[in-house]
Amino acid sequence: MRPSTKQSSDFGLRISRKGDVVMVKIINKALFLALIMFGIFFVSVAYADSSQGVVCLSSGTLNVRSGEGTSFSKVGSLANGVNVTIISTDGDWEHIQCGSIDGYVSGQYIKETSTTPTNGNAATYGTRYTSGSVTSLNVRSGPGTNYSKIASLNPATPVQVIDKQGDWAELQLSSGATGWVAAVYLDIGVPTLSSRSGGSSVDGARLAAYASSSTFLGIPYKYGGASLSGFDCSGFTMYVYKQFGITLPHSSGGQYGYGISVAKSDLQPGDLVFFKPTSGANTIGHVGIYIGDSQFVDAHTYGQPLGISDLNTASYAKRYYGARRLLN
């Protein structure tokens, strides 16, 4: 009987050990799933706590970097007045998103704005501009597509937002009447025209404000691209000018044949600026839209997202070819 008992005991031990292994596997899986759920919860909480902000600069542009510090690489740049989403704050640095730009900026240049504006106060919202993602924006008598159309607005039209309801914004029209538009088609990151004027060309200033808005900043470079999904340099200028009723060819060299020549010292917002492919060349290989203060907007040929560049940067200064004015 003892051998039989010992055999039974050994068999029971083996079963117990096997059970322990199964239990460990179950516990490991449970911990793994718990960690995943915690991660999802943490990310959800982090993004739920995100807020809105606006870039505040006295001049120039704000560098967006890949990490918290000036030693990290630059992933984009933002103009004054551009609206951003603040994901998190760590000391003097803020993690922000603006279009396809995702990175870190110095918090001293970001002013947090309210995400729940108060009752129909125009000062709460300020001036907005209609987006270029549609050629004509319908204005309706109420907050929804089931309401009648009472007017339409062209791209880059300045408007006063006086109230918001869900995904719709109420506007004060130039006629004095009020109407509603889908808020997604209003760009809240365009500077006022007075800050971009730089001269008497009002139409040029409007075009420059539109070109440097968050409608475009951060859109990826795409060879042959001429839409909001991606631009090359002449595709971008062609797209912007089309919104103002001017048709241009999809070629930087071809666009140089339009308008009148402008001296570099007389540049005004809205002018096209052209560059050689290399400093020693005598042909045109790049184009952008001048916005004032020696800055211009362009789709970078070296693959960075569409952004704001400086004429005085060595690479551009050496390759500068000339400028053309198409707007009065």
3-class DSSP state of 97: strand
Eight-state DSSP code of residue 134: S
Q: Count how many Cα atoms sit within 13 Å of the Cα of residue 109 in the half-sphere of its side chain.
A: 23
Bridge-based pairing state of the strands 295-298 and 307-310: antiparallel
pLDDT of amino acid 202: 44
pLDDT of amino acid 4: 45
Length of the chain: 328
- Domain limits, the chain: 13-45, 51-113, 122-187, 196-325
C-alpha Rg value of the chain to the nearest Å: 28
Residue that is written with structure tokens 């929804």 in the block: 144
pLDDT of amino acid 44: 44
**Fold agreement between 51-113 and 196-325:** no
Q: Where does 51-113 sit in CATH, by number?
A: 2.30.30.40
Could you report the per-residue pLDDT of 52-91, keeping only the tens digit for each? 777 776 556 788 899 988 888 888 777 666 667 888 887 7
pTM higher than 0.75: no
Give the integer Cα–Cα distance in Å for 140 and 234.
Answer: 35
298 class by beta-carbon count within 10 Å (0-12 exposed, 13-18 middle, 19+ buried): buried
Give the integer Cα–Cα distance in Å for 191 and 128.
Answer: 9
pLDDT of amino acid 233: 94
Residues 100, 220 contacting (CB under 8 angstroms) = yes
* CA-angle at 108, arms to 105 and 111, nearest 5°: 95
pLDDT of amino acid 80: 63
Supply 290's token pair: 């001048």
Give the integer Cα–Cα distance in Å for 203 and 238.
Answer: 16
**Segments of the chain scoring below 70 in pLDDT:** 1-50, 57-60, 79-83, 99-100, 113-129, 131-135, 155-156, 174-175, 184, 187-202, 302-303, 328
Superfamily of domain 122-187: SH3 Domains (2.30.30.40)
Give the integer Cα–Cα distance in Å for 79 and 210.
Answer: 12
Residue that is written with structure tokens 């603040």 in the block: 86
Element (H or E) spanning 276, and its range?
none
CB atoms within 10 A of CB 35: 10
Domain 196-325 has CATH 3.90.1720.10: yes
CB atoms within 10 A of CB 103: 22
